[in-house]
A and B are shown apart, each in its own frame.
Chain A
Amino acid sequence: MRQDTKVVPTEAMDFAATSRSPAGAASPGVPVSVRGLHHAYGELQTIERLDLDLPAHGVLGLVGPSGCGKSTLLELICGLQEPGDGAIDVGGAGDAASRLSRCAFMPQRDLLLPWLAAIDNAALALRNRGVRRREARAEAGKLFERFGLAGFEHALPAELSGGMRQRVAFLRTLVAGKPVLALDEPFASLDAITRAEMQSWLAGALESNPRTVVLVTHDVEEALYLSDRVAVLSARPGRIVEELSAPAPRAPDRDAVVTDPGFVEVRERAMHALRAGTR
């Protein structure tokens, strides 16, 4: 049943672009660049000589074996941590506080606050900025309709299905109005069917709400479908072993795309690189 995952594209829909972001982001999506990044936890070198370039509105997929520092890299970009060495630039600013003000982070588990209704979870960023509850709900509510969640505004997270929760979590990230979205394995906890649905859903959401996105996943297919480019990371210490262009980023018919021979070929190359990098 795909109808509840349908995304209705509308023009000039990005309310978040006009929302009060402390960064004062005029346009959603800013370029992100990473230069010569090194990072270690104590003695453990997690990231080594890493360079990344991401244009505004670009979607970059990061795949790699477990423990290769993917999640750390996201936290570094978001300004949740400072790197050991190297430079990270998000929309022209390099310090952690500016990066933090330009990035919204979607963690692996949805981490919806169980005591807040779905709409209040989605509106968290607005509430944190001092917007009144009513206004915040009204703004977040617009997106609920648009993203197939109408009618579930006042449901508690425990009453929602896994896919629904993940959608609310994504809306929460989107409502923050940040130019950069950092998604950490957003669908890892879902079953295969729901995950495929959510990938289509996210593709539609990103097409209608373009942002600069860094997507961490261990699912090569997911990365290649959702991203413009995919960087394959090696085992720890993480560095990029291969960069691939996706054949049909976020094309409407996901099932057709992922079974296309061209897509399959790129996917196999990515898998090969992944295997090589793990050794």
Chain B
Amino acid sequence: MNRWVLPVLVLAALIGAWQVAASSGAIADALGLEPFLVPSPSEIADALWESRSLLAENAWVTLREILLGLLCALAAGLGFAVLLHLSETLRRAFYPLIVASQTIPIVAIAPILIVWFGFGIGPKLAIVALICFFPITVNTLDGLRSVDPEATKMMRTLDASRWQILRRVEAPTALPYVFSGAKIAAVIAPIGALFGEWVGSDAGLGHLILQDNAQLETARMFAAVAVLATIALALFGLLALAERRVVRWR
């Protein structure tokens, strides 16, 4: 049986149950709400279709924040991981700080980033990059360090320079780890972008969700959430595909 069959069945069952519960008014009754506050999946699908251009416009803004933020995190994360790998001193100095930095809640510093960088794309990139940096750096570093020490010795007797050991042995060994980090990052990046938009923005899915929430446009709010989830899934899928293409020896 195809591995997609079961999850799709479960998802369909959940959506079906939601449809029945929402359209019969059962959820709204139970919560004591007006029925229009509890949209059914079919209403959400309608909203998705009717507002498609608005959603697409805003999705593009958010997607750009996500992609650029991810790229920054990748560049910084890979660079940092290699530096920390090559220098024991740097690793000892920075590694604990990198881990500790993860305990700073982005929620707390996001408003200050908006104050510093304004309402443009800057603070969103910063937030996305900040939350993606950690899984990429830590995974890459783990990958670089997972090389068999015997392989390094063997390469040294085969006249390899430090750089050649990095390029021919350590980097390919680390590649699957890099992909793991990037996949985690791809899934959390939309959360960062959304949050950046909530704190201050004039466009993007996060912006739209806040607006719709305030105007009780609940169906379109859910539609925006669905779009954001689709972006995250697509990114993850693309990375998984790229991994299969690149890491052929596994």
B249 A111 Cβ-Cβ under 8 A: no
Chain A CB within 8 A of B153 CB: yes
- The digit string for A1-41, where 1 denotes a CB below 8 A from any CB of B, is 00000000000000000000010000000000000000000
A176 B172 Cβ-Cβ under 8 A: no
Kindly report which residue of chain B lies nearest to residue A169, judged by CB atoms: B154
Q: Which residues of B have CB within 8 Å of A158?
A: 249
Q: Which residues of A have CB within 8 Å of B151?
A: 107, 111, 113
B150 A128 Cβ-Cβ under 8 A: no
Chain A CB within 8 A of B168 CB: yes
Q: Which residues of A have CB within 8 Å of B249?
A: 114-115, 156, 158
Chain B CB within 8 A of A78 CB: yes
Docked Cα-Cα span, A152 to B158, in Å, equals: 22
Chain A CB within 8 A of B102 CB: no
Q: Which residue from A108, A114, A156, A176 sits with its C-beta under 8 Å from B158? A: A176
Kindly report which residue of chain B lies nearest to residue A158, judged by CB atoms: B249
B157 A108 Cβ-Cβ under 8 A: no
Q: Which residues of A have CB within 8 Å of B168?
A: 113, 124, 127-128
A115 B159 Cβ-Cβ under 8 A: no
Docked Cα-Cα span, A182 to B153, in Å, equals: 12
A107 B153 Cβ-Cβ under 8 A: yes
Chain B CB within 8 A of A168 CB: no
What is the minimal beta-carbon distance from A251 to any residue of chain B, in angstroms?
Answer: 29
Docked Cα-Cα span, A170 to B160, in Å, equals: 17
B154 A105 Cβ-Cβ under 8 A: yes
Most chain B CB atoms below 10 A, which of A115, A158, A178: A115
A182 B172 Cβ-Cβ under 8 A: no
Kindly report which residue of chain A lies nearest to residue B172, judged by CB atoms: A115
Chain A CB within 8 A of B169 CB: yes
Kindly report which residue of chain A lies nearest to residue B250, judged by CB atoms: A114
Docked Cα-Cα span, A279 to B56, in Å, equals: 78
What is the minimal beta-carbon distance from A252 to any residue of chain B, in angstroms?
Answer: 30
A100 B158 Cβ-Cβ under 8 A: no
Chain B CB within 8 A of A205 CB: no
Most chain A CB atoms below 10 A, which of B158, B161, B250: B158
Q: Which residue from B148, B155, B172 sits with its C-beta under 8 Å from A128? A: B155
Kindly report which residue of chain B lies nearest to residue A176, judged by CB atoms: B158
| Contact (A103, B157) CB under 8 Å given A128-B164, A158-B249 | yes
Docked Cα-Cα span, A242 to B111, in Å, equals: 76
Most chain A CB atoms below 10 A, which of B151, B154, B249: B154
What is the minimal beta-carbon distance from A7 to any residue of chain B, in angstroms?
Answer: 23
A111 B157 Cβ-Cβ under 8 A: no
Q: Which residues of B have CB within 8 Å of A156?
A: 249
Within 8 A of B (CB), among A29-69: none
Q: Which residues of A have CB within 8 Å of B157?
A: 78, 80, 100, 103-105, 176, 178, 182
Docked Cα-Cα span, A277 to B248, in Å, equals: 48
Chain B CB within 8 A of A106 CB: yes
Kindly report which residue of chain A lies nearest to residue B157, judged by CB atoms: A105
Chain A CB within 8 A of B244 CB: no
B172 A107 Cβ-Cβ under 8 A: no
Chain B CB within 8 A of A125 CB: yes
A100 B156 Cβ-Cβ under 8 A: yes
Chain B CB within 8 A of A137 CB: no
Q: Which residues of A have CB within 8 Å of B159?
A: 22, 101, 125, 128-129, 176
B158 A125 Cβ-Cβ under 8 A: yes
Q: Which residues of B have CB within 8 Å of A172?
A: 158
- The digit string for A68-108, where 1 denotes a CB below 8 A from any CB of B, is 00000001001010000000000000000000110111111
A111 B148 Cβ-Cβ under 8 A: yes
Q: Which residues of B have CB within 8 Å of A115?
A: 172, 248-249
Docked Cα-Cα span, A220 to B160, in Å, equals: 33
Chain B CB within 8 A of A195 CB: no
| Contact (A128, B169) CB under 8 Å given A105-B153, A107-B153 | no
Docked Cα-Cα span, A114 to B156, in Å, equals: 18
What is the minimal beta-carbon distance from B175 to any residue of chain A, in angstroms?
Answer: 8
Q: Which residue from A80, A101, A109, A124 sits with its C-beta under 8 Å from B153? A: A80
Q: Which residue from B150, B158, B248, B250 sits with its C-beta under 8 Å from A124? A: B158
Q: Which residues of B have CB within 8 Å of A75?
A: 153
Q: Which residues of A have CB within 8 Å of B250?
A: 114
23 contacts between A and B (CB under 8 A): A22-B159, A75-B153, A78-B153, A80-B153, A80-B156, A80-B157, A103-B157, A104-B157, A104-B158, A105-B156, A107-B153, A107-B154, A109-B150, A111-B150, A113-B151, A113-B168, A115-B248, A124-B155, A128-B160, A158-B249, A172-B158, A176-B159, A182-B157
- Known: A107-B153, A124-B155; 4 extra A-B contacts, CB below 8 A, are A104-B157, A109-B150, A111-B148, A129-B159
